[in-house]
Amino acid sequence: MIGTVGPPVTTIEARLESVPEMGYDALSDTPRGEICLRGHTMFSGYYKRPSLTEEVFSDGWFHTGDIGEWQSNGTMKIIDRKKNIFKLSQGEYVAVEVLERAYLQSPLVASVWVYGNSFESFLVAVAVPERQALEEWAAANSKAGDFAELCADPKARTYVRDQLNQTGKKLGLRGFEMLKAVYLEPVPFSIEKDLVTPTFKLKRPQLLKYYKDRVDQMYKDAKEGRAAP
């Protein structure tokens, strides 16, 4: 059992759930997927964090966020992490899908991907704006240019960020769940670019790889107090 977390204890049921956006199949010859647990000895939820509790429990199963691989001897090996819940540098846990659902209630954006580096204390995002909404803002603020040029405008990015944070505050998000910087992407996240699944779920590892330079720049510029180019 060296290199594994051993088999499930007798009071706990364990199963794997496929994570297609990360390439893990719980029904393959070597089963891999998110480790899900249930049993009477499981904890009932996060203290005073109902949204986070709702995020990790489904049909009585606790979704750990860990990617496991069943071994032939019945033990489990942890091989990866499903990055839907992560911890920022100051210790706050972030349920990223909860935040994305909140920010998507803003009429300004069609899609949004929220990211937090565990070595940083704040969040950034890549958002695909609603074209008409952004063009209306541009007209009201005497901004010229096509859609891509508007997305590249630092004032447009600041405006969208502030509006998203305003939406978040109305929905009860806390300070560390607000966005420090937003990059506006004029082209929708697509299956062709491998950024979403066929059901349009975000493929987070692929998004991070695709936008890594943008993310790094947002962190750098946010810490220096200026908008990312």
Structural domain spans, the chain? 13-81, 85-224
What is the Cα–Cα distance from 97 to 147, expressed in whole angstroms? 27
Predicted confidence at residue 31, as pLDDT, reads 95
What is the Cα–Cα distance from 130 to 138, expressed in whole angstroms? 12
Tokens of 158: 């600041």
CATH of 85-224, one of 3.40.50.1580, 3.30.300.30, 3.30.499.10, 3.30.420.480: 3.30.300.30
- Classified by CATH at the fold level, domain 13-81 comes out as Luciferase; domain 3 (2.30.38)
The DSSP result for 165-187, as a single string, is: HHHHHHTT--GGGSEEEEEEPSS
| This prediction's pTM | 0.70
Whether the pLDDT of residue 198 is over 60: the answer is yes
Dump pLDDT digits (tens) for 100-128. 999 999 999 999 999 999 899 999 999 99
CB 114 within 8 A of CB 120: no
Dump pLDDT digits (tens) for 49-98. 888 888 889 889 999 888 899 999 999 998 877 767 777 888 888 888 88
Of 141, 221, 145, the residue nearest 183 (C-alpha): 221
Alpha helix (H) residue ranges in the chain = 50-56, 96-103, 131-140, 147-151, 154-170, 204-210, 212-224
What is the Cα–Cα distance from 58 to 41, expressed in whole angstroms? 17
Determine the straight-line distance between the first and last CA of the chain, rounded to whole angstroms: 50
